[in-house]
Amino acid sequence: MLTDSDTMFTESAEPAATVPRFGSMTPVVVTVAVVLLSVLSWWLLADPKWSPIGASLPAVNAVLFWTILAFIFTGFTFDNWPFSKLGQPLSGLLQIATNVAMGFAITWLFTFVGGSWDPTFSHAAAGGTGFTATAFVVLVGFYAYAFAASSWEGYPFEKIPGPVAGVAQWFLAAFIMLVGVVVLIYPNFNAALTKAPPLALPAATGWVYSSTVLVIVGAMIWQNWPWALVTNRHGRAAAALVVTLGGGIGLYYALRPLVQALTPADIKALPSFSAATQTAELGVCIVMWALVVGLIFGPSKLKRSTAEIRAIRTVVVVALGIATYIVFMRFFATTVLHFPALKGDYGGSPLTWINWTALIVLWYSVGLGGCWSTKPAPARERVPAGLADSTV
């Protein structure tokens, strides 16, 4: 299941006592290191101007999105199996290599094999739309697989031992994903269906990602409140579905005017601007900070009630998400990461680079278990592994 760090999955034996390598500043140091690694790796592998690889942004998005989903498969659906049988950092590095290989392989299957049958996904489609369609398939997958692992906590297969439970959960989430793709994504890309899709792509993108925001924030900060209050497991599962999908609609309509307020008037006047799509771009910034707070900072040390801590952390995460969106769109994306500008220095796609950063957070915190952020504790200190003094 996907939860914050105090209930994050682990199958290994209790580790030797360790302490945070940099004391109470460890979460901050790790967060800065993640951002720096994200920038450096972007420059090397995907930067439109500096990367020697020269891949197009649609192709980068397709491989990136499927690599993230591959990690959700291995890290959450299968609880790090079989990699958890190995020690760190070998376990994490092998999982990372597997995720990357899966990302490339699935993208190739969609765009070269599937694209030869259905031009909707073809690598040769004009403007990279085949790669874009391949990437947008994952949009629903993010919700489906994160929801099954965290909001449903493996329901209805909780009592089945892994990895059999993981296989069952994978197919259940695949069904949810397939329904979403058929109804929301495919009709917006297939040439024969684009004239009258059930829901336009910008609105579908905003709604699905807003629902994903609720799934991740629910797991990282709220401990799956409010549906966790339902004692009956079937009722709890139904409540989670209603809250995340129904609440996603509400969040989508709440974020739209916020995006409008954050965007300069000359940008909103551009024909390419879509407030609906930008709600997803803002949403991924919120998701990234929820993962940082839940996985890197870990359990809060504040001497306050659970409700107060959840409220404080939610405000902090949303504020950081908004600030990140503003900085990214107004200059960081175009001047540092060399995304194409919409006008002046304004432009970029948080769904690309912020997701890139979120993947590194997941790889380090879950795949590698934060193995370099701790050190052996002196004999007189017995602190649980990975526990840092978080003040948030």
Q: Indicate if the pLDDT at residue 390 is higher than 80.
A: no
Cα(293)–Cα(367) distance, rounded to whole angstroms?
Answer: 17
List pLDDT tens digits, range 251-300.
Answer: 999 999 999 999 999 999 999 999 999 999 999 999 999 999 999 999 98
Written as one letter, the residue type at 299 is P
pLDDT-based confidence at residue 389 (cuts at 50, 70, 90) = very low
| Across 60-88, average pLDDT | 96
* Contacts for 107 with CB less than 8 Å, ≥ 6 apart: 59, 62, 63, 66, 131, 134
Q: Indicate if the pLDDT at residue 22 is higher than 90.
A: no
Q: Is residue 131 in some structural domain?
A: yes
Written as one letter, the residue type at 364 is Y
Q: Is residue 334 in some structural domain?
A: yes
Q: What mean pLDDT is reported for the chain?
A: 92
List pLDDT tens digits, range 315-330.
Answer: 999 999 999 999 999 9
Q: How many CB atoms lie within 10 A of CB 265?
A: 7
| Across 349-368, average pLDDT | 97
| Across 90-106, average pLDDT | 98
pLDDT at 14: 52
Cα(262)–Cα(256) distance, rounded to whole angstroms?
Answer: 10
Q: Indicate if the pLDDT at residue 381 is higher than 70.
A: no
DSSP of 278-326: HHHHHHHHHHHHHHIIIIII-S---SS-HHHHHHHHHHHHHHHHHHHHH
pLDDT-based confidence at residue 379 (cuts at 50, 70, 90) = low
Percentage, residues of the chain above pLDDT 90: 85
Cα(140)–Cα(143) distance, rounded to whole angstroms?
Answer: 5
62-66, 210-214, 358-362, 372-376: segment of lowest average pLDDT: 372-376
Q: Indicate if the pLDDT at residue 384 is higher than 80.
A: no
pLDDT at 1: 47
Contact 132, 120 (CB under 8 A): no
Instruction: Match 């939860």 to its residue by tokens.
Output: 3
Q: Which domain holds residue 168?
A: 18-376
Written as one letter, the residue type at 306 is T
DSSP of 117-177: H-GGG-TTSGGGHHHHHHHHHHHHHHHHHHIIIIISTTTT-TTSPTTHHHHHHHHHHHHHH
Written as one letter, the residue type at 78 is F
List pLDDT tens digits, range 215-239.
Answer: 999 999 999 999 999 999 999 999 9
pLDDT at 378: 78
Q: Is residue 4 in some structural domain?
A: no
Split into its structural domains, the chain has a count of: 1
Q: Which two tokens stand for residue 340?
A: 């194409």
Q: Indicate if the pLDDT at residue 10 is higher than 70.
A: no
Q: Is residue 7 in some structural domain?
A: no
Strands (E) in the chain, as ranges, are 18-20, 341-343, 346-347, 374-376
37-41, 91-95, 142-146, 374-378: segment of lowest average pLDDT: 374-378
Q: Does a cis peptide bond (omega within 30 degrees of 0) precede residue 52?
A: no
Q: Is residue 99 in some structural domain?
A: yes
Contact 2, 240 (CB under 8 A): no
Percentage, residues of the chain above pLDDT 70: 92
Cα(38)–Cα(34) distance, rounded to whole angstroms?
Answer: 6
pLDDT at 15: 52
> Buried (b) or exposed (e) across 75-95, using 16+ Cβ within 10 A?
bbbbbbeebbeeebeebbeeb
pLDDT at 13: 45
pLDDT at 100: 98
List pLDDT tens digits, range 102-137.
Answer: 999 999 999 999 999 999 999 999 999 999 999 999
pTM of the model: 0.91
pLDDT at 321: 98
| Cα–Cα separations (whole angstroms), residue 100 to 64, 83, 104, 136 | 8, 15, 6, 18
pLDDT at 162: 81
Q: Is residue 385 in some structural domain?
A: no
The closest of 295, 300, 360, 357 to 324, measured between CA atoms, is 357
Q: How many CB atoms lie within 10 A of CB 272?
A: 8
pLDDT at 12: 42
Q: Identify which has the larger pLDDT, 379 or 159.
A: 159
Q: Is residue 389 in some structural domain?
A: no
200 DSSP assignment: -
